[in-house]
Amino acid sequence: MAQIVTLGEIMLRLSTPGNQRFVQADSFDVCYGGGEANVAVSLAGFGYDVSYVTKLPKNEIGDSALMALRREGVDCSKIARGGERLGIYYLETGASVRPSKVVYDRAHSAIAEAKPEDFDFDAIFEGAKWFHFTGITPAISDSAAEVTKAALIAAKKHGVTVSCDLNYRKKLWSSEKAKAVMTDLMQYVDVCIGNEEDAQKVLGFVPGNTDVTKGSLELAGYEAMFRQMQEQFGFRYVVSSLRESISASDNNWSAAIWNGREFYHSKTYKLHIVDRVGGGDSFAAGLICGLMDGKTGPEALEFAVAASALKHTIPGDFNHVTRAEVDALAGGDGSGRVQR
């Protein structure tokens, strides 16, 4: 019986080797990943019983995605099988002033065409404590949005805490469609996670004069935005990762949290990035882990930021770190000295 449930799409990731451009590559590095799958893997690594819910095609590629999750200790017993294909995304990893690029090939994937009746959500949430989803899943298709809402209704029926990472993806839907769908789903959410673009494009909130493309943060604007979001939707926590993009290779990374009484800004990490894909998912997983552990909001936030900072140093979607490593970094050991 899983303590934590996540729902979403796991995809085949095809990445150009090193920092090659698509036009240069004559081979791709292969791994699997996707927002909620990445969260599930992180939480399993932290010792929680996690069940991942999706639909995978009944073929060898679907089997490979399933095995990638099982290797990481994720419960896959609630995954439905069927549909035509697994979604794919292509990644060109940028460097310095050249940004990374993602090309999606996920139309008509198995989860995009899944129906609510493919899943027994009452059984899935029986005994569960936490449910996590992202704005990516309802963006995949109208059918996937229906599946997400059915899951949310069942989760609240069973008294499960719900977190959502807003995760706006302009290649999947418009801001107008995102607002229409996600505003309705927010009634089920206890912990809302997102960055400044997510808050604006998905829910219509703007954090003051912040311009992350110029490495500029205005924390007072975030606090005001958090207050407005909580007043409108009644969130227990409002959380935002704060990425100051110096270049594709170097970012400043921190986060902020609001619990209705106090605003807290974490310590800032100066990151030299190996792979930033999955960075937000590792942050969400760290936050969930901290709150499930019984940490205070600020303590959970520091754990989340440290976990995510480490993820930026690891190739692939999944965050292969231990609690001890996260605790060490959160405690101030960011020297990177060789461990002998």
**CA 104-313-44 angle, 5° bins:** 75
Give the separation between CA 211 and CA 245, rounded to whole angstroms.
10
Give the separation between CA 253 and CA 267, rounded to whole angstroms.
8
The residue count for the chain: 340
Residue pair 307/319 in contact by the 8 Å Cβ criterion: yes
Is 281 considered catalytic here?
Answer: yes
Give the separation between CA 340 and CA 225, rounded to whole angstroms.
46
Point out the catalytic residue in the list 63, 281, 293, 327.
281
Q: Which of 26, 11, 153, 163 is nearest to 90 (CA)?
A: 11
Q: How far apart are the first and last CA of the chain?
A: 39
Give the separation between CA 149 and CA 202, rounded to whole angstroms.
16
Q: Which of 89, 258, 245, 229 is nearest to 166 (CA)?
A: 229
Q: Which two tokens stand for residue 27?
A: 């081979």
Active site residues: 281
